[in-house]
A and B are shown apart, each in its own frame.
Chain A
């Protein structure tokens, strides 16, 4: 039984009635099939209706749902037993908020990198709620370097509230770790596919987000700052997060419109957690399609295109010219 959202409550009421009717119908002699069908139809309709008109803030709630599939959930479905997890940055330690390793997806052996959240409190404490320290980013880079050496493409799952703000993280150079990944990923000579599967939290997300393709699941978000953080700074009131979420334009549809991501991957009705296998199948199909397009490219061509992709991001104007996107 998955935990439901506030905005799903009307559905939950109906689902309860449906359940009651079904029990009644099984017990007794009365034929309730027509009533049952009517309610089931109504539920489907309401669900579609509710999820069609979600507010940006509600997207953030779906994106952060504790039952939502996380990196290792997808890895399990996509790679099965072929996944070998690797640990440690070779400098300081291992960061459970970031997982990395190699596995097989369809015909391809790939490196897999991803933020890792927990499905309950204990696991979340162990995973630090998916907020990496510098050693997490350095581990990710180490595995990407291995991928480059063995000419294997890289698949990245992005799902973090952000890089961890703490004393140890600062002492060990959180800024440098993130910045270094941005620079190094921009020149990693193998294809990189990035999937925002939940929260794309600022620099902590971008630090593994320099891909030849960047995809977002339908109900994932990607933002320069969390809605709460933005509200606390600009409105001086964290409870204005709803307004901040709207202002930040953090939904997949916004990012597609801005040309920041390549494609939105549809989720099952009600969110990825309602059917992880179906979501994983969507991701797998996209991986196979885009690796087929990227693997034939020469490293020079691949890197030139990757540079041009991020180079073009930004909106500004020059003197009295009309607003223009950046030119390459």
Chain B
């Protein structure tokens, strides 16, 4: 069975709850088709909801310029990992639910006419967790950037390393960071865009290593998740802790940029560095 059949086969009819979403900030009921038209911003409070991968790609690239690479790369089960369900089962479920093979989509595209390389993570795919495939695809993209001297842009959304791949997941942090170090040495720009949420092993590797780190408003960004911290220190966390604006205040991101200005901001930087 080819990979395409696995995408198209066994599709279920749309669930009626797919037609609307509730804004996590102001609880406004938002129609899916309005969200799609409005860049997944809440029509009432302007909250930045999580944006599907292909909408994100459309947001950041010139029309029809995106060419996906390494799309056929798939995870394996190196540990034979079973918790309440075997890992391969969880993977199959995620593949069917998201119509993609893994938690990151990579490709070559243009931004304001300039060639770029873009990686976009998908939080819906097992919490955007980084296993061997995510690490490998991001590393290949960074190496391609080095090779072609194209700027690399990475949009992260991830809970961190993928536990089911154990130590292999951890080592993806080393792999991606090393590839960025090579880009830095060759003076090829690397821009990290941090979206809600970016934590754990992704935050502690390529997402924090941008020449410029850009965060979306109100995005949760941190090393440890807020629940882990609360359980460790046994105290309530301050309001706004680990939000994009908190990181800006503490010097960890260069700017917090509204989704509508994201492409223009990246474009301006790339033009200044060209």
The smallest beta-carbon distance between A171 and chain B, in angstroms, is: 5
- CB-based contact A203/B163 at 8 Å: no
A247 within 8 A of B: yes
Tell which of A172, A254, A255 touches B250, judged by Cβ atoms closer than 8 Å.
Answer: A172
Question: Which chain B residues (94-124) contact chain A, with CB distance < 8 Å?
Answer: none
Q: Which residues of chain A come closer than 8 Å to B204, judged between CB atoms?
A: 163, 174-175, 178-179, 203, 207
Q: Determine the chain B residues whose CB is within 8 A of the CB of A316 once the complex forms.
A: 73-76, 132-133, 136
Distance between Cα atoms of A311 and B74 in the complex (Å):
18
With A165-B232, A314-B132, A319-B74 known as contacts, the answer to whether A178 contacts B178 (CB < 8 A) is: no
Q: Is A223 an interface residue (CB 8 A)?
A: yes
Select one of A230, A250, A258 contacting B168, CB under 8 A: A258
Q: Which residue of B lies closest to A182 (CB)?
A: B177
Q: Are B184 and A258 in contact (CB under 8 A)?
A: no
Asked whether A173 lies within 8 Å of B168 as measured between CB atoms, the reply is: no
The distance from the CB of B78 to the nearest CB of chain A, in whole angstroms, is 4
- State whether A176 and B208 are in contact (beta carbons under 8 Å apart), knowing that A167-B229, A260-B167 are contacts in the complex: yes
A203 to chain B minimum Cβ distance, whole angstroms, is 5
**B208 / chain A contacts, CB cutoff of 8 Å:** 173, 175-176, 179-180
- Chain B residues near A167: list those with CB within 8 A: 229, 233, 237-238, 241
From A175, A183, A225, A250, B222 is in contact (CB under 8 Å) with: A175
Complexed CA–CA distance, A229 and B233 (Å) = 16
Are the CB atoms of B174 and A313 closer together than 8 Å?
yes
Q: Which listed residue (B3, B168, B205, B224) contacts A313, Cβ 8 A?
A: B168
- Asked whether A171 lies within 8 Å of B250 as measured between CB atoms, the reply is yes
A164: B residues at CB distance < 8 A: 232
> Please, which residues of chain B bring their CB within 8 A of the CB of A250?
166-167
Contact in complex: A319, B166 (CB < 8 Å): no
CA distance A323 to B174 in the complex (A): 22
CA distance A32 to B185 in the complex (A): 73
Query: A164-195 vs B: 1/0 string, CB under 8 Å?
Result: 11110111111110111011101100000000
Q: Are B74 and A313 neighbours in the complex by a CB distance under 8 Å?
A: no
**Are the CB atoms of B74 and A163 closer together than 8 Å?**
no
A307 interface contact, C-beta 8 A: yes
| Chain B contact residues: helix, strand, loop or mixed | helix
A180-B178 Cα distance, complex, nearest whole Å: 10
A56 vs chain B, min Cβ distance (A): 12
Contact of A176 among B76, B163, B252 (CB under 8 A): B252
Q: Is A224 an interface residue (CB 8 A)?
A: yes
A314 with B174: in contact, given A166-B229, A176-B252, A248-B79 (CB under 8 Å)?
Answer: no
- For this complex, into which size category does the number of interface residues on chain B fall? 35 or more
**In contact, B232 and A166 (Cβ under 8 angstroms):** yes
Complex Cα–Cα for A210 and B176 (A)? 12
Q: Known interface pairs A174-B204, A225-B163, A248-B79. Does A186 touch B174 (Cβ–Cβ under 8 Å)?
A: yes
Q: Is B13 an interface residue (CB 8 A)?
A: no
Checking A175, A224, A311 against B178 with a beta-carbon cut-off of 8 angstroms, the contacting residue is: A311
> Given the complex, which residues of B lie within 8 Å of A263, measured CB to CB?
none
Closest Cβ of chain A: how far from B134's Cβ, in Å? 10
Q: Are A224 and B169 in contact (CB under 8 A)?
A: yes
For A175, what are the chain B residues with a Cβ–Cβ distance below 8 Å? 203-204, 207-208, 221-223, 252
Q: Are B167 and A249 in contact (CB under 8 A)?
A: yes
Evaluate whether A314 and B83 lie within 8 angstroms (CB atoms) in the complex, with A165-B232, A178-B204 already known: no
Select A317's contact among B74, B163, B171, B238, beta carbons within 8 Å. B74
- The distance in angstroms between the C-alpha atoms of A182 and B139, with both chains bound, is 14
**Which single residue of chain A is at the shortest CB-CB distance from B175?**
A310
Contacts known (A167-B238, A174-B224, A179-B205); A317 close to B76, Cβ less than 8 A:
yes
Interface flag for B128 (CB, 8 Å): no
Q: Does B84 sit within 8 A of A, measured CB to CB?
A: yes
Give chain B residues whose Cβ lies under 8 Å from the Cβ of A307: 178, 182
Tell me, yes or no, whether A297 is within 8 Å of chain B by CB: no
Q: Which residues of A pack against B, CB within 8 Å?
A: 163-167, 169-176, 178-180, 182-184, 186-187, 202-203, 206-207, 209-210, 222-225, 229-230, 233-235, 243-244, 247-250, 254-255, 258, 260, 306-307, 310-311, 313-319, 323, 326
Interface residues, chain B, with chain A CB atoms under 8 Å away: 3, 72-76, 78-79, 81-84, 132-133, 135-136, 139, 161, 163, 165-175, 177-182, 184-185, 200-201, 203-209, 221-224, 228-229, 232-233, 237-238, 241-242, 250-252
Sorted from nearest, which 4 A-B pairs have the closest CB atoms? Answer: A165-B224, A182-B177, A314-B132, A186-B178
Return 8 A-B CB contacts under 8 Å, by A number. A166-B229, A170-B242, A175-B222, A180-B208, A183-B177, A209-B174, A223-B166, A317-B73
